[in-house]
Amino acid sequence: MQERLQKLMAHAGLGSRRENEGVIAAGRVQVNGRIAKLGDKADPATDQIMVDGRPLHLANEKNLYIILNKPRGVISSLEDEMGQGRKTVRDLIPVEGHIYPVGRLDKPSEGLILMTNDGKLAHRLTHPRYEHEKLYHVTLEGRLPDWAIDQWRRGINLDGKLTAAAPIDLLERSEKMTRMRIILREGRKRQIRRIAAAFGHPVRHLRRERIGPISIGNLKPGEWRHLSKEEVADLQTAVQNQR
């Protein structure tokens, strides 16, 4: 979730919000390599925030790594910014501290969401250049023909740009439905749903099973747990191997 830079800096112990406004105005803060200005916001889970050339670290917080099976109807945000009383992924995890979702899912989708306060790890897991695999189980309306599956595998023109090749396994198909396993290495907004709709076979059900080396396992919708030390090590190894 994005917050104003002066608020994040104050939380990191760098002085009051007013004092930090002066630091920002003096051009001493950068976000993703760009000099920040007053009023800018950033998400410490995915943005690189530098103050006087040093990374911003939130004070008095140990690194947390949590896996959640997001149910349908829950939004992948820290708060309902539209004020509609919608339940968020943060509402489902009663732990203290700042944690942020890594790899969002839209409201009708379900499955694996990682939550962490490790900004460096989150950035490498979500930035398109690192191409971490995400595995989805998808059920479409109707019988998706072979030619459409082959075209989807090779790449589809979306927003004027070809999507990356996507391994697709056909699991089950009838006149009423098509069930597939899809691996993505990019994360365009609502990518699977938009491609399926373009073929005239809208998504009936979408569930994310894996991000990189981390799988959802037997977590039921709404359940969560801390990652094990071994899982955290696997994640860190995965991001270090992607240059």
Second CATH level (architecture) for the domain 65-129+213-241? 2-Layer Sandwich (3.30)
Task: Say if residues 9 and 23 touch (Cβ distance below 8 Å).
Answer: yes
Q: 3 is written with which tokens?
A: 């917050």
For 23, other C-beta atoms within 10 Å of its C-beta total: 18
Q: Cα separation of 110 and 93, whole Å? A: 16
Task: Say if residues 193 and 202 touch (Cβ distance below 8 Å).
Answer: yes
Report pLDDT for 193: 96
Give me the catalytic one of 106, 146, 150, 169. 106
Report pLDDT for 10: 78
CATH 3.10.290.10 is right for the domain spanning 3-55: yes
- pLDDT tens readout for residues 19-74: 899 999 999 999 999 999 999 998 877 788 999 988 887 655 678 999 999 999 99
- Listed by start position, the domains of the chain span 3-55, 65-129+213-241, 133-211
Cα 164 from chain centroid? 18
DSSP lists the bridge partners of residue 42 as 3
Q: 29 is written with which tokens?
A: 């803060």
Query: Which fold does the domain 133-211 belong to in CATH?
Result: Alpha-Beta Plaits (3.30.70)
- pLDDT tens readout for residues 118-156: 877 877 777 666 678 999 999 999 999 999 999 999 999
Task: Say if residues 125 and 132 touch (Cβ distance below 8 Å).
Answer: yes
* Residue 52 annotated in active site: no
pTM of the model: 0.75
